[in-house]
Amino acid sequence: MHFNLTDEQRALSDMVQRFLSQEYASDARRKILRSPEGWSREIWGKLGEMGLMALQVPEEQGGMAPATVETLLTMGAMGKALVVEPYLSSAVIGTALVRGLGTPAQRDALLPAMATGERIAVPAHGEAGSRHDLSRVATTARRGGAGWILDGRKAVVLHAPAADLLLVTARTAGAGDAQAGLSVFVVPATAPGVKLIPYPTIDGQRGADVVLSGVELPADALLGQEGQAFEGISAAFDLGVAALCAEAVGVLQATLDATTEYTRTRKQFGVPIARFQALQHRMADMLMHVEQARSMSYLAAMHASSTDVKERRRMVSAAKVTVGQACRYVGQQAVQLHGGMGVTDELAVSHCFKRLLAIELSLGDTDHHLERFITESK
Amino acid sequence: MDLTFTEEERRFRDEVRAFLEASLPAAMRHRLLEGLHVPPEDTVAWQRILFRKGWGGPSWATEFGGTGWDPVRQFIFEEECAAAGTPRLLPFGLKMVGPVIQRFGNAAQHARFLPRILSGEDWWCQGYSEPESGSDLASLRTLAVRQGDHYLVTGQKTWITLAQHADWIFCLVRTDRTGKAQAGISFLLIDMKSPGVEVRPITMLDGGHEVNEVWFEDVRVPVENLVGEENKGWTYAKFLLGHERANIAGIGGSKRELIRLKRIAAEERKHGRPLSEDPFFAARLAQVEIDLMALEITNLRVLSAEAEKRAPGPEASLLKIKGTEIQQALTELMVQAVGPYALPFRIEALQDGFAGPPVGPEYAAPLAATYCNMRKTSIYGGSNEIQKNIISQMILGL
């Protein structure tokens, strides 16, 4: 067992961190958040040039999958910088969906452009009634027109406004939360019948509700086999959870660093407030949360591509529980220890706090993964 | 021991409830209960409605135009108001500067300021904190120099809640830089329209504009606006801090939010069943409900001791800590309850009458912003860490 990085991995991590610290500093990020699109194509293009979108793309389509550790390092760096570009949605989950479900022809058609970042494809999966259940899908796809006709509504599709393609889960058979009968369709965001209701999210990212009204698709829009998508979806989302955990660790570390730095410089009663033991112990607790979360993010990354599905789910859920609890504690205490400054928009800590909240709620909240861990442990 | 309210107290509650039923405008109620933006006009209008009823000063003695209610009646009134969804009464006039003026002000100040607080004509704000003086308030540096019949005030206050609407600000200012920090502070009333006063907004993490910096540059303040004696301001400030007791725990508001949380949990679905039936969520909700039950009784014990004229003590710190923890826990559970629909953040959807396309259930729209906003409660009014210092020192004698 070892936790060492190869020279190449260290170089990649350094490169990403250096780029983001130069081009994605606080002011630059604020400008991006305030822009009409809410993300930067320029930054996205440069991240693509670094090869980061290729990490989960197979070699046959011009990528380097499975680059598990590289993905972990990239997500951590993006967490530290609070990157809002659609990396997790397109380069991790979207890419894993196409890789896992697509036929060789579909992979050839879609992945090369995703590997460079030229094409952005995001999952449109969750619905109003599904909460965090992956198999509870009501959107339907029926045969008709030249192939398929989709109807339904997708809730809180992150980065949908940035996407060229939506990877829409729809039911071709079954009902309720049946795993059988789920299919994924490649839907151009501009297809007739697709309507986006876009909005910012609490953490400054962008999302949309996606309304699908009689969307006609060609036969080959179906990704892989009809009705057999559940396991591919589950695998792609577990990889997404592992990546999200890695991002969380980056945010958590940045949040803790900001807090120790602030308490060292903020003086009250004639001394830096970091001298007060009550606050020292609080920051020690924050550190323990960060380190436990980091450990679990490694565990999740190492099991995210495991062929033992039960074990994969169990490990990924355990990680998300630990990370979710860390997000809650570290985020809240960081704001608290910053005092009034912590609840302003001015300091980075409030932006970290909001991202930590969003991470905790995304891809299954703490209770969801606690329950799944119990189920998969039986 | 009897944990029930007396017959008269129950009749009083019925009277309050009937009044609120008849007098609280439906639109105001809707905005508050749904967590929408509450415009300042609502706050003023509600104060005027209460004033016309003779209830403008629920915690004031009758000699100052108040109701003369005892602490238990004040508690009942606040609880009923919270349950009904009234706009919050501004504490800055009624619970802060009002009692200070009553206790330490002169007759001219009584006549000039108190009636206009009751009637809602004057909006007050509180100028205490400074950038370098938060928890260590006594280190404040805003300077007031006496020049004949006025003071010249220069300095910067911060975290001034709703100063953008205020007519007046009560300030702690430094009038003596020699000796102990606490001994050189005075309590000054400043007209916000005075030349040299500038309000600068602070944007909060939920995007809202609730607090401000207030800058003073050579602001002339007439000497008659000094409350009590020069350099005794710290004593008055401590009196003020100790005065806002009846509702520091926010029991009524938390009960209202608990009901809202239960309503949301009954609407939301997990695995196709009501979220309220999910054992994980139900356990978390029950825990908060139990904490709130305990705090309500603790609060009533403190009030009852106060009513018996036993000195109201540092128990207020306990009420503040637990009260804010419960308020925050309720906002956390509401965010959790709505799942992914907590994430969309549409500021425009928080305005009453928003007509854009709906995203998720209507009740979900303000929840994440409220969760973020409520982090302030464990920081303001003496951070919970400072409150724990008070408990350690004043109750435990450590």
Quick: pLDDT tens for B37-70. 899 999 999 999 999 999 999 999 999 999 999 9
Does one domain contain both B257 and B386?
Answer: yes
Contact B372 A357 (CB under 8 A): yes
Which pLDDT does position B312 carry in this prediction? 55
**Confidence band for A343, pLDDT divided at 50, 70 and 90:** very high
Does one domain contain both B378 and B260?
Answer: yes
Q: Which residues of A touch B380 (CB under 8 A)?
A: 340
Specify if B243 maps to a domain.
Answer: no
- B203 sits in which H/E element: strand B197-203
Does one domain contain both B306 and B188?
Answer: no
Does one domain contain both B289 and B211?
Answer: no
Does one domain contain both B304 and B261?
Answer: yes
Residue A198 sits at φ, ψ, to 5 deg, of -85, 155
Closest to B258 (Cα-Cα) out of B82, B102, B397, B130: B82
**Does CATH number 2.10.70.10 belong to domain A122-226?**
no
Which pLDDT does position A118 carry in this prediction? 97
Which pLDDT does position B311 carry in this prediction? 52
Does one domain contain both B281 and B362?
Answer: yes
* Whether residue A302 has pLDDT greater than 70: yes
Determine the average pLDDT of the residues in A25-42: 96
Specify if B240 maps to a domain.
Answer: no
**Confidence band for A328, pLDDT divided at 50, 70 and 90:** very high
| Residues A197, A189: Cα–Cα separation, whole Å | 12
**Confidence band for B393, pLDDT divided at 50, 70 and 90:** very high
> Between B36 and A206, whose confidence is greater?
A206
Specify if B98 maps to a domain.
Answer: no
Which pLDDT does position A113 carry in this prediction? 97
| Domain carrying residue B68 | 7-89
Least confident of A52-61, B159-168, B352-361: B352-361
Q: Which residues of A touch B368 (CB under 8 A)?
A: 202, 357
Determine the average pLDDT of the residues in B251-258: 95
Does one domain contain both B224 and B265?
Answer: no
**Confidence band for B26, pLDDT divided at 50, 70 and 90:** very high
Question: Would the CA dihedral through A305, A114, A356, B363 be positive or negative?
Answer: negative
Side-chain-side CA neighbours of B302 within 13 Å: the count stands at 23
User: Is A29 in contact with A81 (CB distance < 8 Å)?
Assistant: yes
Q: How far is A57 from chain B (nearest CA, A)?
A: 28
CATH for A7-119 (3.20.20.80, 3.40.50.720, 1.10.540.10, 3.40.50.300): 1.10.540.10
Q: Which residues of B touch A126 (CB under 8 A)?
A: 340
For chain A, say whether B130 makes contact (Cβ under 8 Å).
no
Does one domain contain both B213 and B329?
Answer: no
Partner-chain residue, chosen from A209, A273, A365, that has the shortest CB–CB distance to B336: A365
Give the CA distances from residue A163 to residues A114, A198, B236, B355, in Å, rounded to whole numbers and listed in that order.
11, 12, 60, 27
Specify if B206 maps to a domain.
Answer: yes
For chain B, say whether A200 makes contact (Cβ under 8 Å).
yes
A residues 108-127 lying closer than 8 A (beta carbon) to B = 126
Specify if B160 maps to a domain.
Answer: yes
Domain extent listing, chain A: 7-119, 122-226, 231-377
For chain B, say whether A135 makes contact (Cβ under 8 Å).
no
Does one domain contain both B272 and B369?
Answer: yes
Partner-chain residue, chosen from B136, B275, B379, that has the shortest CB–CB distance to A269: B136
- A188 sits in which H/E element: strand A182-188
Q: How far is B361 from chain A (nearest CA, A)?
A: 9
pLDDT (tens digit per residue) in B214-245: 999 999 999 999 999 999 999 999 888 776 66
For chain B, say whether A370 makes contact (Cβ under 8 Å).
yes
Specify if B96 maps to a domain.
Answer: no
A residues 35-94 lying closer than 8 A (beta carbon) to B = none
Least confident of B92-106, B308-322, B366-380: B308-322
Contact A207 B343 (CB under 8 A): yes
For chain B, say whether A175 makes contact (Cβ under 8 Å).
no
Residue that finishes a domain, picked among B205, B232, B259 = B232
Specify if B172 maps to a domain.
Answer: yes
Does one domain contain both B186 and B267?
Answer: no
Which pLDDT does position A323 carry in this prediction? 98
Contact A132 B383 (CB under 8 A): no
Does one domain contain both B319 and B210?
Answer: no
Average pLDDT along chain B:
94
Domain count, chain B: 3
Which pLDDT does position B2 carry in this prediction? 84
Does one domain contain both B313 and B280?
Answer: yes
Residue that finishes a domain, picked among B69, B89, B109 = B89
**Confidence band for A344, pLDDT divided at 50, 70 and 90:** very high
Partner-chain residue, chosen from A201, A279, A336, that has the shortest CB–CB distance to B378: A336
Which pLDDT does position B238 carry in this prediction? 86
Least confident of A66-70, A73-77, A245-249: A66-70
* Whether residue B309 has pLDDT greater than 70: no
Fold classification of A231-377 is: Butyryl-CoA Dehydrogenase, subunit A; domain 3 (1.20.140)
DSSP B211-269: EEEEEEEEEEEEGGGEESSTT-HHHHHHHHHTT--TTTT-HHHHHHHHHHHHHHHHHSE
| Residue B150 belongs to domain with CATH number | 2.40.110.10
Specify if B278 maps to a domain.
Answer: yes
Q: Which residues of A touch B180 (CB under 8 A)?
A: none
% of chain B beyond a pLDDT of 70: 98
**Confidence band for A32, pLDDT divided at 50, 70 and 90:** very high
